[in-house]
Structure 1
Amino acid sequence: MTGVSEAVGSAGAGERVTAPGPRVRLVGHSVFTPPVDVPGFEGTWTTDAADGDALAEFAGRACYRSWSRPIPETADNAGYLDHILQVGHLAVLEHSTATFYLTGVPLSVAAEVVRHRHFSVSQLSPRHQAEAGPEIVEPAAVAADPGLHARFQQAVDDAAAAYAALLEVLDPAGAGGRPGVRNPLSGKQAREAARSVLPLATATDLVVTGNYRSWRHFVGMRATDPADVAIRTLAVTILRELQQLAPHSFADFRISALPDGTALAASPLVRDA
């Protein structure tokens, strides 16, 4: 598992629209540490999976002390978690978590990610760094049309110029300050006010932690055909990482290619999306 995935493409070199699109990096996940003893079982209980998959199985078996695997169909981790998904006993998946560092995410997509209430999110602050030129993620549908791309580029340039003009008035002393020049706002306040004119395509960064159940909900909602292509591409990219990290907890999702070169994912077992 690489822990690093790319989502969408970028505009031509040398242009202001330079962000490569969302990049997905796995930076943390649950680790399962088998207890040396469990009630009703002789010795150290083990399973044929690791980390999040193993922890989910352990949590499920702890509900009934079914440590000895009495049912052949659920004796291994794959069979056990398949049964969990089939019957919808998804609470056991909430014990396992994955944390992703998402960079180059358009503000429009970031706003949709943070709407998922069961995620824990830390987002790049807009107040602590002045923008020499905003990093922009161009929608694929716009980039594919030269005329639309030119209009998009002009709009981005206009927004960047407006940002610079506002910052010049709101923060005339600059980040380092100039003798005899008094700022009407602090540097952080000035940058935050100036950023109000930047487009929703402006890139931001997120650290997102979710348990496996919440990630399944996210993928079930955002990786489907009706979803906007940008967040759908991000969701599919995250799913690929999750299927490497915890193959049995996400085994029911199938990724399919679409005629436009993008992909979607779906599962017949997603009931609460």
Structure 2
Amino acid sequence: MAHETTPSIHLIARPAVDLEGMRAYLEDVGGGSWLERRTAADTAPNAGELLVEFGGRACYRSWEPGLNVNVTKVRTDQRDYLKNILKSAHGSVLEHANYSFALRNVSRVATHEIVRHRAGAAYSQESLRYVRLVDIGFRVPPALEPLRQECLELVERLEEFQVSAAEKLKIDDDGIPFHVKKEVTSALRRLAPIGLSTDLILTMNLRTLRHVIEMRTDTGAEEELRLIFGRLGEIMVEEAPGLFQDFTRRDDGSWVPEFRKV
């Protein structure tokens, strides 16, 4: 029977660094003391932020003063260093760090918009060519709240059609080959609501995340996108605070950076 759902966002992967590999490189270029400072604390360094800083310092050989004769002074505080990266729009180094999320019970309306973000992103979505619709999840958007019951009844009728059509076409009878099941399943999805709940695995680098979180939480964005990326903003401010230090969440729910188009 059709049921109501609520989107949920799960961080499932974050960057990892090989400290020994970094150390071997730095011993060759003369920047080993930088890594010693970054790993001196009792807690492990934030891998995403360390990777971004590593990329940035490699560009200018700014591990220590004097390694590049043009550099006589370097920022030693990581948060200050990352703020300067953001302020100077040196955004390419943010592309080294990728984060992956499982988006559960988001609508295909939302996923159709999300997958338009191609640069710095990768997606894997539940395929309705292979997954039969026998239990449709659906979220009633706020604008349709006065029509809640009518919406749910309509979705339930569409679900009943999916089940009855499969029965009438006898695709679960013994001996029916998989390619026939797939063909019918693919055809039936054309008669399913675009607002049905689905799952999407999403990977974005930090540069893309900053841009999309700002764009999709703007007051003019689609309301479900604002919900999804509002939660992503919360996750990333906690996950990579140095690289989201300039983000502020307004009372209207939008995430706004001080430094745009990094």
Question: TM-score if structure 1 supplies the norm length?
Answer: 0.82
Name 1:32's counterpart in structure 2: 17
Taking CA–CA contacts closer than 8 Å with sequence separation of 6 or more, which of the two structures ends up with the larger relative contact order?
A: 2
Superposition pairs of residues 124-203 of structure 1, within 5 angstroms: 124-143=126-145, 145=146, 148-169=147-168, 171-174=169-172, 177-178=173-174, 186-203=180-197
CA deviations over 1:58-98 (Å, ceiling 9, x no partner): 100010111126646x3211111111111111000000010
Higher mean C-alpha deviation, range 75-84 or range 125-134: 125-134
Name 1:56's counterpart in structure 2: 52
Task: Find 1:251's aligned residue among 245, 250, 253.
Answer: 245
Higher mean C-alpha deviation, range 78-87 or range 152-161: 152-161
Mapped partners of 2:251, 2:163: distance in 1: 42
Residues 140 and 246 of structure 1: CA distance in aligned 2, closer, same or farther (over 3 Å): same
Mapped partners of 1:44, 1:267: distance in 2: 29
Structure 1 position 124, deviation (Å): 0.8
Mapped partners of 1:206, 1:79: distance in 2: 35
Residues 216 and 44 of structure 1: CA distance in aligned 2, closer, same or farther (over 3 Å): closer
Task: Find 2:31's aligned residue among 28, 41, 49.
Answer: 41
Name 2:69's counterpart in structure 1: none
Residues 250 and 42 of structure 1: CA distance in aligned 2, closer, same or farther (over 3 Å): closer
Q: For residue 150 of structure 2, what is the amino acid of its counterpart? A: R
Unaligned regions of 5+ residues in structure 1, if any? 1-14
Residues 111 and 173 of structure 1: CA distance in aligned 2, closer, same or farther (over 3 Å): closer
CA deviations over 1:21-59 (Å, ceiling 9, x no partner): 211111111113332241032456242742001110110
Structure 1 position 230, deviation (Å): 0.6
Residues 42 and 221 of structure 1: CA distance in aligned 2, closer, same or farther (over 3 Å): closer
Residues 44 and 85 of structure 1: CA distance in aligned 2, closer, same or farther (over 3 Å): closer
Name 1:67's counterpart in structure 2: 63
Q: Secondary structure at the match of 2:254?
A: strand
Q: Secondary structure at the match of 2:12?
A: strand
Name 2:111's counterpart in structure 1: 110
Whether the 8 Å contact between 1:18 and 1:137 is mirrored in structure 2 is: yes
Q: Secondary structure at the match of 1:67?
A: coil
Structure 1 position 156, deviation (Å): 1.0
Whether the 8 Å contact between 2:2 and 2:159 is mirrored in structure 1 is: no
Structure 1 position 183, deviation (Å): 8.2
Whether the 8 Å contact between 1:40 and 1:65 is mirrored in structure 2 is: no
**Residue 14 (structure 2) pairs with residue 16 (structure 1):** no
Structure 1 consecutive aligned stretches of length 4 or more whose deviation exceeds 6 Å: 182-185
Count residues with an aligned counterpart: 244
Question: TM-score if structure 2 supplies the norm length?
Answer: 0.85
Mapped partners of 1:62, 1:120: distance in 2: 27
Structure with the larger helix share = 2
Higher mean C-alpha deviation, range 44-53 or range 247-256: 44-53
Superposition pairs of residues 206-245 of structure 1, within 5 angstroms: 206-245=200-239
Whether the 8 Å contact between 2:248 and 2:255 is mirrored in structure 1 is: yes
Residues 198 and 66 of structure 1: CA distance in aligned 2, closer, same or farther (over 3 Å): same
Mapped partners of 2:48, 2:32: distance in 1: 23
Mapped partners of 1:229, 1:222: distance in 2: 9
